[in-house]
Structure 1
Amino acid sequence: MTDLKSMNRKELERLLVDVKKALQAAAARDRRNARKAAERAAAEYGFSLNELDEGNDAKPKKAKGTKKAKKPSVAKYADPSDASRTWTGKGRQPNWFRAVVAKGIDPATLEI
């Protein structure tokens, strides 16, 4: 093992370049070994890797963080005095709904 403290800057930079090359070679070697292992595993079932890749019927995964657009809810209640004011029955009750219910009108009669 080389003592890094005793090396000068030029020697350390050369060592760094050599280490980066060795890491790239090791990664390439590991990739080749993994591919060979995958080919052997596919061959056990009578397939090649190309056949398995082409026959991929799985749905592509959705990108993380993306959401489907929500469909607007359908109105369930309408204001008897102004039919353009509606409420879906979800979330906070609108003031007109509370006022009508406070008068004693049954909410079922406000249903569309």
Structure 2
Amino acid sequence: MSQFDVKNLSADELKKLVNDAERALRERSKQRVMELRREAEALANELNTSVADIFGLEKGSKQAGKKLPAKYMNPANPSQTWSGRGKRPNWLVDELNQGKKLEDFRI
């Protein structure tokens, strides 16, 4: 880091220096937040979920709690269904990892 003597700067030069430093600090902070966001999204993706699900950021809607009709069914156990919203159930994730397609399970 370069070091210089601020004692010899005028008031205007000091104000400009402070403004430039604050702007640089805000920019670095934004960059770090974006890096952390990308990391969090990647980790959530590995867990087949979303950042909002992990931190409980989803706000309840007017339809919260309303049961949606099933769109997908486990052929090995027809009682296991999924509406297509929210986190994918483990049985579906396992099947997809084995190379099957989501459409194979559509009701």
TM-score normalised by structure 1 residue count: 0.44
Larger radius of gyration: 1
Larger % of strand: which? 2
TM-score normalised by structure 2 residue count: 0.46
Structure with more contact order per residue of length (Cα contacts < 8 Å, sep ≥ 6): 2
